[in-house]
Amino acid sequence: MVFSVFLAAAFITCLMIFLVKNTRFSLRIYQFAQSVPLIFICVFLGGKTLALINGNPWGFVFYGALIGLITGIFLESRRRKISMLIYTDTFLRLLPIGQAIGRIGCYFNGCCYGTLIIPVQFIESGFCLALGTILLLWQTNKTGRYTFAYLSAYSLFRFFLEFFREDEIRGFYGVFSTSQWISIAIIFVLILNRKHIRT
Protein backbone atom coordinates (compact mmCIF):
# COMPACT_ATOMS: atom_id res chain seq x y z
CA MET A 1 0.00 0.00 0.00
CA VAL A 2 2.80 2.43 0.94
CA PHE A 3 4.69 1.65 -2.27
CA SER A 4 1.54 2.29 -4.32
CA VAL A 5 1.27 5.78 -2.79
CA PHE A 6 4.84 6.58 -3.85
CA LEU A 7 4.22 5.22 -7.34
CA ALA A 8 1.17 7.45 -7.66
CA ALA A 9 3.22 10.41 -6.41
CA ALA A 10 5.94 9.59 -8.95
CA PHE A 11 3.45 9.49 -11.83
CA ILE A 12 1.73 12.73 -10.79
CA THR A 13 5.07 14.52 -10.37
CA CYS A 14 6.28 13.47 -13.82
CA LEU A 15 2.95 14.43 -15.35
CA MET A 16 3.05 17.87 -13.75
CA ILE A 17 6.61 18.46 -14.97
CA PHE A 18 5.57 17.51 -18.48
CA LEU A 19 2.52 19.75 -18.47
CA VAL A 20 4.34 22.76 -17.02
CA LYS A 21 7.45 22.37 -19.22
CA ASN A 22 5.77 20.89 -22.29
CA THR A 23 7.56 23.13 -24.79
CA ARG A 24 10.88 21.61 -23.69
CA PHE A 25 9.80 18.11 -24.75
CA SER A 26 9.59 16.50 -28.17
CA LEU A 27 6.04 15.19 -27.67
CA ARG A 28 3.03 17.46 -27.59
CA ILE A 29 0.39 17.12 -24.88
CA TYR A 30 -2.17 15.39 -27.10
CA GLN A 31 0.44 12.88 -28.31
CA PHE A 32 1.47 12.15 -24.74
CA ALA A 33 -2.14 11.70 -23.63
CA GLN A 34 -2.88 9.34 -26.53
CA SER A 35 0.11 7.16 -25.68
CA VAL A 36 -0.38 6.82 -21.92
CA PRO A 37 -3.07 4.04 -21.83
CA LEU A 38 -1.15 1.54 -24.00
CA ILE A 39 2.21 2.38 -22.43
CA PHE A 40 0.79 2.10 -18.90
CA ILE A 41 -0.53 -1.39 -19.64
CA CYS A 42 2.83 -2.46 -21.09
CA VAL A 43 4.71 -1.03 -18.09
CA PHE A 44 2.49 -2.92 -15.65
CA LEU A 45 2.74 -6.21 -17.58
CA GLY A 46 6.52 -5.86 -17.96
CA GLY A 47 7.11 -5.16 -14.27
CA LYS A 48 4.91 -8.04 -13.14
CA THR A 49 6.25 -10.50 -15.75
CA LEU A 50 9.88 -10.06 -14.71
CA ALA A 51 8.87 -10.36 -11.06
CA LEU A 52 7.19 -13.69 -11.87
CA ILE A 53 10.28 -14.87 -13.76
CA ASN A 54 12.35 -14.07 -10.67
CA GLY A 55 9.96 -16.09 -8.52
CA ASN A 56 8.23 -13.15 -6.84
CA PRO A 57 4.51 -13.26 -7.79
CA TRP A 58 3.65 -10.24 -5.62
CA GLY A 59 6.56 -8.06 -6.69
CA PHE A 60 7.15 -5.47 -9.37
CA VAL A 61 10.55 -5.15 -11.07
CA PHE A 62 11.76 -1.83 -12.45
CA TYR A 63 13.72 -3.25 -15.36
CA GLY A 64 10.68 -5.25 -16.40
CA ALA A 65 8.67 -2.03 -16.32
CA LEU A 66 11.36 -0.30 -18.40
CA ILE A 67 11.22 -3.08 -21.00
CA GLY A 68 7.43 -2.72 -20.95
CA LEU A 69 7.77 1.05 -21.39
CA ILE A 70 10.01 0.67 -24.44
CA THR A 71 7.72 -2.02 -25.86
CA GLY A 72 4.68 0.23 -25.40
CA ILE A 73 6.52 3.13 -27.00
CA PHE A 74 7.50 0.95 -29.96
CA LEU A 75 3.88 -0.13 -30.50
CA GLU A 76 2.53 3.39 -30.08
CA SER A 77 5.12 4.94 -32.38
CA ARG A 78 4.34 2.38 -35.08
CA ARG A 79 0.62 3.00 -34.66
CA ARG A 80 1.02 6.81 -34.87
CA LYS A 81 3.82 6.67 -37.48
CA ILE A 82 6.06 8.86 -35.32
CA SER A 83 9.74 8.17 -34.64
CA MET A 84 10.17 5.96 -31.59
CA LEU A 85 13.03 8.18 -30.37
CA ILE A 86 10.69 11.17 -30.11
CA TYR A 87 8.69 9.18 -27.56
CA THR A 88 11.69 7.81 -25.67
CA ASP A 89 13.33 11.24 -25.53
CA THR A 90 10.26 12.50 -23.68
CA PHE A 91 9.51 9.56 -21.39
CA LEU A 92 13.13 8.83 -20.45
CA ARG A 93 13.76 12.46 -19.48
CA LEU A 94 10.88 12.22 -17.00
CA LEU A 95 11.49 8.67 -15.81
CA PRO A 96 14.45 9.25 -13.44
CA ILE A 97 12.45 11.78 -11.44
CA GLY A 98 9.75 9.15 -11.00
CA GLN A 99 12.41 6.58 -10.08
CA ALA A 100 13.83 8.89 -7.42
CA ILE A 101 10.42 9.02 -5.74
CA GLY A 102 9.71 5.32 -6.28
CA ARG A 103 12.94 4.19 -4.62
CA ILE A 104 11.99 6.07 -1.46
CA GLY A 105 8.81 4.01 -1.59
CA CYS A 106 10.99 0.87 -1.80
CA TYR A 107 12.67 1.89 1.46
CA PHE A 108 9.38 2.28 3.33
CA ASN A 109 8.13 -0.94 1.72
CA GLY A 110 11.18 -2.83 2.98
CA CYS A 111 12.27 -4.04 -0.46
CA CYS A 112 15.28 -3.55 -2.75
CA TYR A 113 17.53 -3.23 0.31
CA GLY A 114 21.32 -3.25 0.46
CA THR A 115 23.99 -5.17 2.31
CA LEU A 116 24.58 -4.30 5.96
CA ILE A 117 24.00 -0.56 6.40
CA ILE A 118 24.32 0.54 2.76
CA PRO A 119 21.10 2.46 1.89
CA VAL A 120 20.94 1.49 -1.78
CA GLN A 121 17.40 2.83 -2.14
CA PHE A 122 18.56 6.33 -1.18
CA ILE A 123 21.73 6.04 -3.26
CA GLU A 124 19.67 5.18 -6.34
CA SER A 125 17.11 7.84 -5.50
CA GLY A 126 19.84 10.48 -5.29
CA PHE A 127 21.45 9.34 -8.53
CA CYS A 128 18.12 9.35 -10.39
CA LEU A 129 17.23 12.78 -9.05
CA ALA A 130 20.57 14.15 -10.25
CA LEU A 131 20.26 12.40 -13.63
CA GLY A 132 16.68 13.59 -14.06
CA THR A 133 17.62 17.17 -13.21
CA ILE A 134 20.46 17.12 -15.75
CA LEU A 135 18.22 15.68 -18.47
CA LEU A 136 15.51 18.25 -17.80
CA LEU A 137 17.92 21.20 -17.84
CA TRP A 138 19.84 19.96 -20.87
CA GLN A 139 18.48 21.17 -24.20
CA THR A 140 19.41 19.62 -27.55
CA ASN A 141 17.72 19.32 -30.92
CA LYS A 142 19.47 16.02 -31.64
CA THR A 143 16.83 13.28 -31.60
CA GLY A 144 17.86 10.30 -29.51
CA ARG A 145 20.44 12.03 -27.31
CA TYR A 146 18.24 11.96 -24.21
CA THR A 147 17.46 8.31 -24.81
CA PHE A 148 21.13 7.41 -25.16
CA ALA A 149 22.13 9.49 -22.12
CA TYR A 150 19.53 7.97 -19.81
CA LEU A 151 19.97 4.35 -20.86
CA SER A 152 23.76 4.42 -20.78
CA ALA A 153 24.06 6.33 -17.48
CA TYR A 154 21.43 4.33 -15.62
CA SER A 155 22.56 0.93 -16.93
CA LEU A 156 26.16 1.51 -15.86
CA PHE A 157 25.08 2.84 -12.47
CA ARG A 158 22.65 -0.01 -11.87
CA PHE A 159 25.20 -2.67 -12.84
CA PHE A 160 27.59 -1.54 -10.10
CA LEU A 161 24.89 -0.77 -7.53
CA GLU A 162 23.67 -4.37 -7.77
CA PHE A 163 26.87 -5.55 -6.05
CA PHE A 164 25.61 -3.83 -2.91
CA ARG A 165 22.07 -5.26 -3.02
CA GLU A 166 21.15 -8.13 -0.72
CA ASP A 167 17.57 -9.01 -1.65
CA GLU A 168 18.03 -12.41 -3.27
CA ILE A 169 14.48 -12.50 -4.63
CA ARG A 170 15.53 -10.20 -7.49
CA GLY A 171 16.97 -13.24 -9.25
CA PHE A 172 20.44 -14.50 -10.11
CA TYR A 173 21.73 -16.22 -13.22
CA GLY A 174 25.33 -17.31 -12.84
CA VAL A 175 27.53 -14.62 -11.30
CA PHE A 176 25.21 -11.69 -12.01
CA SER A 177 21.72 -10.66 -10.99
CA THR A 178 18.87 -10.31 -13.48
CA SER A 179 19.30 -6.53 -13.42
CA GLN A 180 23.02 -6.79 -14.15
CA TRP A 181 22.39 -9.01 -17.17
CA ILE A 182 19.79 -6.55 -18.43
CA SER A 183 22.23 -3.67 -17.86
CA ILE A 184 24.85 -5.50 -19.92
CA ALA A 185 22.30 -6.16 -22.68
CA ILE A 186 21.27 -2.49 -22.78
CA ILE A 187 24.87 -1.30 -23.03
CA PHE A 188 25.52 -3.86 -25.79
CA VAL A 189 22.46 -2.68 -27.75
CA LEU A 190 23.49 0.97 -27.31
CA ILE A 191 26.98 0.25 -28.63
CA LEU A 192 25.58 -1.54 -31.66
CA ASN A 193 23.04 1.22 -32.38
CA ARG A 194 24.91 4.31 -31.19
CA LYS A 195 24.94 5.90 -34.64
CA HIS A 196 21.17 5.52 -34.96
CA ILE A 197 20.35 6.64 -31.43
CA ARG A 198 22.76 9.56 -31.24
CA THR A 199 21.60 11.24 -34.44
- Which DSSP category does 8 fall into? H
Return d(Cα 60, Cα 158) in angstroms, integer: 17
What mean pLDDT comes out for the span 48-73? 92
pLDDT tens per residue across span 155-186: 999 999 999 988 767 778 888 999 999 999 99
The whole-number pLDDT of residue 88 equals: 97
pLDDT tens per residue across span 74-87: 999 999 999 999 99
**pLDDT band, very low/low/confident/very high, at 62 (cuts 50, 70, 90):** very high
- Percentage of the chain with pLDDT > 70? 97
What mean pLDDT comes out for the span 22-41? 94
Return d(Cα 55, Cα 57) in angstroms, integer: 6
Q: Which sign does the torsion angle of CA 132, 88, 182, 184 carry?
A: negative
199 has a pLDDT exceeding 60 = no
What mean pLDDT comes out for the span 76-99? 96
CB 197 within 8 A of CB 148: yes
**What's the distance, CA 199 to chain centroid?**
22
| Amino acid (1-letter code) at residue 3 | F
What mean pLDDT comes out for the span 186-194? 90
The whole-number pLDDT of residue 106 equals: 87
Q: Which is higher by pLDDT, 168 or 139?
A: 139
Indicate the helix (H) or strand (E) that contains 84: helix 84-109
The whole-number pLDDT of residue 198 equals: 60
CB 113 within 8 A of CB 120: yes
